[in-house]
Amino acid sequence: MLIAVVGPSGAGKDTLMGGARAVLAQDARFRFVRRAITRPAEAGGEDHEALNASAFAARQEADGFALFWEAHGLSYGIPRDIEADLAARRVVIANLSRAVLAEAGARYRLRVLQITAPIEVLAARLAARGREAPADIAARLKREVTLPAGLDVESVSNDADVAEGVARVLAALNRAASDAQGL
């Protein structure tokens, strides 16, 4: 089963997934995907495979990505080798764009793990980052984002401390592993 992790900026996706990855590091039922991104490694953010635009295009042309998309001026790709893990009934966890969820759902057994937080929590986290002006944060928070219809979606609210949020994600991932084995 492919678990597509989605959620708004400030929901704490990277924090919760990092905690879950640390707990499940030795559990062979799970694979956390390292995305390829046309962003330098030293740019910060998630641990990713940094590719320049021509290397990304070459891998895309060689059918090296199971899924790929563009967002915010960058290209993102999920490696094709996830398909061997899926065939072995492993749970593959990847941070995906909502723009590729319908395609992912058509090609793979998909569950969406939507990480959310109350709007006031999102606002405080975005302001603490210092990346955007208050007006930009307000506009971001007003945007309604809907998921494609018909997807298997599980929501986790990240409205407590990190340990509780990680525990909620672990519970969701363990349910997915049970479901994946019960094909």
pTM here is 0.87
pLDDT tens per residue, the chain (183 residues)? 999 999 887 788 889 999 999 999 999 999 999 999 998 777 666 678 889 999 999 999 999 999 999 987 899 999 999 999 999 999 999 999 988 999 999 999 999 999 998 888 888 888 887 777 888 778 777 776 778 889 999 999 999 899 999 999 999 999 999 888 775
CA 143/CA 28 separation, integer angstroms: 38
Q: Which token pair is 94?
A: 């990847």
The domains located in the chain, with CATH, are 2-181 (3.40.50.300)
Q: Is-contact 23 170, C-beta < 8 A?
A: yes
The pLDDT value recorded for residue 138 is 80
CA 120/CA 127 separation, integer angstroms: 11
The pLDDT value recorded for residue 144 is 65
The pLDDT value recorded for residue 183 is 56
SS3 state of residue 8 = coil
The pLDDT value recorded for residue 148 is 86
The pLDDT value recorded for residue 45 is 65
The pLDDT value recorded for residue 39 is 82
